[in-house]
Amino acid sequence: MCLGVPGKIVSVEGTLATVDFWGVKREVRLDIVDEPVAPGDYIMNHVGFAIRRIPPDQIDETLALYDELLKAMSEDDLMAADVRGEINATEEKKRG
Amino acid sequence: MAEPRADTLRFQDPATARRMADALARAVGEIGRAPVSVMHVCGSHEQAIAKYGLRAVFPRGLNVIMGPGCPVCVTDLPEVDEAVALAGQGVRIFTYGDMLRVPGTVKSLADAQAEGAKIDVVYSVGHAVQLARKSADECVFFASGFETTAVATAAVILASPPANFSVLSAHKYIPPVMEIVAEMPETRVEGFLAAGHAATITGWGIFERFVERHSLPVVVAGFEPLDILAGLLTLVELVRDGRAEVFNAYPRCVTREGNRRAQEVLWKVFKPTGGRWRGIAHVPNGNLRLRDEFASVDARRRFTIDLTKLWDYAPPSLAQSCVCGDIMAGIASPTDCPLFGRECVPDNPVGACMVSTEGTCRIWHQYGGHLNLGEENR
Ligand code: SF4
């Protein structure tokens, strides 16, 4: 019931979009999506409603976060502290 | 960059998962005591953990507890009773599939359906409205789920539903129950993994006050295996370093502010009120109820719901030994329940935790009542 599933927008008609979920097409309402969406965009679906347009660059960002975390763990402590500091700085920028 | 589809596959890369698990083991080791207990508050996290066998890669010494994150499991008996009573009064009920078999005080909606009541399962509140438009009956949507699902209900209420449509809200709001669990003296939770989709709506900023008040770290995580492992790794690091902070490990969906538009819609329609969560406690501000302006679509105000007729029966006795509440509070496991896998099975559930696909007992049963590696060290 509460799994958010990402899908690609095929077409938009008013507050209704046709969305491709890994080959299955479904209608999704756009009443509460955070930003205007267009065909080709990826959205996060929740119980038939788009709740978020997923910016492609943020997918990259997440992967980068994993890489940094792993790097931080495999280096010796000083290095780890350094990298962790950097992640925190980036995060702080994002938070601020 | 490549298509996000390819990236999503990368979120499940086994080699990375293994390395991440090693890193997690090292971080738990560095804490130097066991078990380290953290709690997630989301049925989807538990499903993904079970589905991908993540518990098998969690290090010994890390105890990942499933908190009150299954909306079906925390729906209180009288809330189910209200829907059953309405169905008995001839009203057509729409509900999410999971709610059908949840036992009420006397019976479930499935029992009522077998007795001839008009009950339809829908996958979306939008679907319920479509069906209501075609129906000559009074139609009530029995609305369950947390804030993420409540927003969808709110959007439908604001989009002029047909005159025969109303809502029986059993919606619940997660942040207040985290306070309750954090304050329970028996729980030894040292950090929370927060649900990515709820935070997509509310934003991660909502956890800042919680972190301050309880000095416990909160990490917002997504639902792919790597999302969960990365979230746990960050959480354990924060525990190790004694840093009570909010960390967003799901930046592709969650921002500090969240989805403002969705929040406006949610709070325009709903107000938080105190209410019981099944098995847990009375949770101040834990229930979402319709505001007075929407009385005309509020089933509680539109109908006189007669529960006394139902309550002439005695409550089923087996259910009294159900320990779902303790499981959700993090102080018991399904295997602590004498009914688990015996009197209580998915085909014949005693407690709500065995009904819902997001319930801990159901998930443990489905995936072989597997052992919690974190508990072996106790
Ligand atoms: S096994 Fe059944 S009765 Fe026991 S705690 Fe789980 S749901 Fe409740």
Q: Give the Cα separation of B211 and B226 in Å (integer).
A: 24
pLDDT band at B70 (very low <50, low <70, confident <90, very high): confident
Q: Cβ distance B286 to A77 under 8 Å?
A: no
Whether residue B35 has a cis bond before it, omega within 30° of 0: yes
For residue A15, give the CATH number of its domain: 2.30.30.140
Residues near B204 by beta carbon (within 8 Å), at least 6 away in sequence: B194, B218, B220, B246, B248, B254, B255, B256, B258
Q: Give the Cα separation of B151 and B204 in Å (integer).
A: 17
Task: Give the closest residue (by CA) to ligand 1 atom 6.
Answer: B361
Q: Percentage of chain B with pLDDT > 70?
A: 91
Tell me which CATH code domain B32-313 carries: 3.40.50.11740
Residues of the domain holding A90 = 5-95
List chain B domain ranges: 32-313, 319-367
pTM of the model: 0.82
Q: Cβ separation of A48 and B7 shorter than 8 Å?
A: no
CB atoms within 10 A of CB B162: 12
Task: Give the closest residue (by CA) to ligand 1 atom 1.
Answer: B340
Q: Measured between CB atoms, does B131 come within 8 Å of chain A?
A: no
Query: Residue with structure tokens 């489905």?
Result: B366
Query: Residue with structure tokens 């780890």?
Result: A80
Q: Which helix (H) or strand (E) holds B37?
A: strand B36-40
pLDDT above 80 (res B208): yes
ipTM over 0.90: no
Site to substitute for ligand 1 among B101, B278, B327, B350, most atoms within 8 A of C-beta: B350
Tell me how many domains chain A contains: 1
Q: Give the Cα separation of B42 and B272 in Å (integer).
A: 20
Q: Percentage of chain B with pLDDT > 90?
A: 51
Q: Which residues pair with A6 in a beta bridge?
A: A44
Q: What pLDDT score does B378 carry?
A: 32
pLDDT above 80 (res B138): yes
SS3 B25: helix
